Structure 1
Amino acid sequence: MNTTTPRLTADQVTQYQTEGYTMPDGPVFSQEKFDRLFNHFEKKLAEWPYDERPEAMDTPHFSDPALNEWALAPEVVDLVEPLLGPDILLFSTHFICKPKGDGRRVPWHEDSAYWRKLLDPMEVATVWLALDPSTKENGCMYVIPKSHNTGKKGFSDYEDVDTNKSVFPTEIIKSHRKDELAVPCELQPNHCSLHDARTQHGSAANTSDIRRCGWTLRFVPATVRLNPEFQDRQLMYQARGKNLLNQPLADPTKDYTHVNDLRRRLNVKAH
């Protein structure tokens, strides 16, 4: 299926290319379609293991193919086609749900740092879809513009941080960041931001009385290849166009719970 109504303006495409992020206009889904996604997530959250943090709902679509109704929807893929071209694969998704009161901070990081040996080349566009209001008060994401084009280009140096307070165990060292340039990506439910995998971003803890949940949907052009050594990540889905490298692709109607089980056994805690 080809895009018939561009979802990004020319200025937004330019901003993404030069700044490493952009904020599309308007809601992503119809209200009815978004409400069904929201209710579906609420059921998942209610069944989430009590001993696992709700910020850690990584690759939920592997074991819940119903999510692909939204992850592969034209309303979403239309957002990334102007950035990636017509041949697109869904690489990953992640619910990052910060509970009210004690939602953990997301340390400054580049998504690419988690995938440096997994993807070749490193070209990923993330759709950050708000399920709840995402504001400065409840821990919205901040991005550092143009950080995707720094000398490090997505591979800064990292240091350990307190895992009792942070979603991830490491953070970009301060000398490799320009925190004073950080921009908040405040969003209402059913609205989204887009960012490049190499863009530095993070978010504060949620100490407010309002939950903050977002769903990241990560897409790559079909010219990107997965490293077969990573057996816990060998699932990509055709989102649009052609499978240019003839890679093995997942069936969006099939349950791959065994892959998430493998990830748990390997203690994989990343994007």
Structure 2
Amino acid sequence: MVEEVRFDGPFEMTDVMKDQYERDGFLVVKNFFDQEEIDNLWKIFEGPAGILNHSYETIEPGGKKILRVMYKHPGNDVSGVISRSEKVVEACEKLLGGEIYHYHGKFILKNPHEAGEHVWHQDYGYWYKHNLFPDMITVWVSMDKATRENSCLQLLKGSHKCGRIDHSPGGATLQTTADLDRIEALKPLCPLVYAEMERGDVIFLHCNTLHKSSPNESDKRRWAFIACYNKASNDSFIPHHHANYVPIDKVPDSAIKECRNYTDFSGKEFTDPLKKAEDRKHFPSAEIKG
């Protein structure tokens, strides 16, 4: 069972929450973003100038599809303001123990019936080739209600304590898969939990926590907004398709509701691992997970 933190009013990451994150490898916070904040985020998908112009689609085994948007820097649209908001940045700095920077952001858009699975993996399984330490974190924001039926995240509780495990290419898919024999050995020790979430709920996810999501075979959409951060002291030692250290221009939480930029995505530097063949060399596994 997932232990959840609930709050009303201004959020502060407490020592108790940090202890839970360090014990379990993740922390679920209910209502981290209220409905007005999530409604404002949705507006960047509206109209012909929306962020979907920068999306790419992959075909997964079995013919299922996954739609994604990925970029380096937060920018000044609503998604960027969320990524630079005090409550997000300060929570991550508390969990990682120091200054952070925006490593990359993405939307994982699982549509009804057609969306494929994300295989078992650790985020650091993708990132370790360019970053020396697992001082990295993912903030996973539920834009829709996420359930077992429409592909909520599945996590192995406490699996971050086993360290990074080997990952291998996934064959027909561009994803990489964590060592499945090792995962099976871990399951009796690290309980499998389903992170069922409402709109605006957030998971703070340790980069070594094993997780996956099943195909979305339901009639319900499951879209998620994801912001990934690296500790400033862990700046990538090999330049690649994600960002090197740039100080975060932090904004007050009130800016999320006040932002009216829904179409100017300048500065985000969108990345598409399928767009150019010459780009593939910068994507060790195309980084199309989530």
Answer whether TM exceeds 0.5 for this pair. Answer: yes
Q: Distance in 2 between matches of 1:203 and 1:51?
A: 17
- For 2:248, the equivalent position in structure 1 comes to 239
Paired residues in the alignment total: 247
- Structure 2 equivalent of residue 203 of structure 1: 213
Structure 2: distance between partners of 1:49 and 1:184: 27
Determine helix, strand or coil for the equivalent of 1:227.
Answer: coil
Q: Does 1:119 align with 2:131?
A: yes
Alignment partner, residue 191 of structure 1 = 201
Q: Distance in 2 between matches of 1:234 and 1:79?
A: 20
State the partner residue of 2:118: 106
In structure 2, do the counterparts of structure 1 residues 192 and 50 end up closer, same or farther at CA, with 3 Å as the change threshold? closer
CA distance in 2, matches of 1:121, 1:51: 31
Q: CA deviation at 1:254?
A: 4.9
In the TM superposition, residue 129 of structure 1 has moved relative to its aligned partner by: 0.3
Which moved further from structure 2: 131-140 or 219-228?
219-228
Corresponding residue for residue 271 of structure 2 = 260
Structure 1 pair 7–161 and aligned structure 2 pair: CA distance change class (3 A): farther
Q: Which residue pairs with 1:245 in the alignment?
A: none
How far apart in 2 are the matches of 1:227 and 1:263? 25
Separation (CA, whole Å) in 1 of partners of 2:42 and 2:214 = 23
Cα shift at 1:82 = 1.8
Q: Which residue of 1 aligns with 2:7?
A: none
> Deviation per CA, 1:200-230, whole angstroms, max 9, x where unpaired?
1001100000010111111122211112442
Label 1:101 to 1:48 Cα distance change in 2 as closer, same or farther (>3 A).
farther
2:55–2:68 CA contact under 8 A, matched in 1:
no
Structure 2 vs 1, CA of residues 45 and 234 (structure 1 numbering), >3 Å: closer, same or farther?
closer
The TM-score, its normalising length taken from structure 2, stands at 0.74
Give the secondary-structure state (helix, strand or coil) at the position aligned to 1:33.
helix
Instruction: Give the 5 Å matches for 1:1-271.
Output: 7-24=12-29, 26-43=30-47, 44=50, 46-47=52-53, 54-59=66-71, 61=73, 65-66=76-77, 67-150=79-162, 153-158=163-168, 160-163=170-173, 168-177=174-183, 178-179=186-187, 181-230=191-240, 232-239=241-248, 254-257=266-269, 260=271, 264-265=275-276, 266-267=279-280, 268=283, 269-270=286-287
- Give the secondary-structure state (helix, strand or coil) at the position aligned to 2:18: helix
How far did 1:88 drift? 1.8
d(CA) in 2 for partners of 1:256 and 1:56? 15
Identify if the C-alpha distance between structure 1 residues 70 and 142 changes in structure 2 by more than 3 Å, giving closer, same or farther: same
Stretches of structure 1 that go unaligned for 5 or more consecutive residues are 242-252
Q: Distance in 1 between matches of 2:54 and 2:272?
A: 14
Cross-structure match for 1:244: none
CA distance in 2, matches of 1:49, 1:69: 20
* Aligned equivalents of 2:181, 2:126: Cα separation in 1: 20
Secondary structure of the structure 2 residue equivalent to 1:226? coil
Backbone CA RMSD of aligned residues: 2.8
* Alpha-carbon distance change, 82 to 240 in structure 1, aligned in 2, over 3 angstroms: farther
Percent identity between matched residues is 22
Q: What displacement does 1:154 show?
A: 1.6
Classify 1:211/1:161 alpha carbon distance in 2 versus 1 (closer, same or farther; 3 Å): farther
**Do the aligned partners of 1:157 and 1:176 also contact (CA within 8 Å) in 2?**
no
Gap change, CA 1:76 and 1:263, over 3 Å in 2: farther
Q: Is contact 1:54–1:98 with CA below 8 Å preserved after alignment?
A: yes
Counterpart Cα distance in 1 of 2:232 and 2:137? 12
C-alpha distance in structure 2 between counterparts of 1:206 and 1:12, whole Å? 31
- Against the structure 1 CA distance between its residues 49 and 184, is the aligned structure 2 distance closer, same or farther, given a 3 Å change threshold? closer
Unaligned runs of 5+ in 2: 1-9, 59-64, 251-264
Question: Residue 233 of structure 1 aligns to a residue in which SS?
Answer: coil
How many angstroms apart in 1 are the aligned matches of 2:72 and 2:243?
14
Give per-residue Cα distances to partners, 1:70-94, cap 9 Å, x unaligned: 1111132233122023422111112
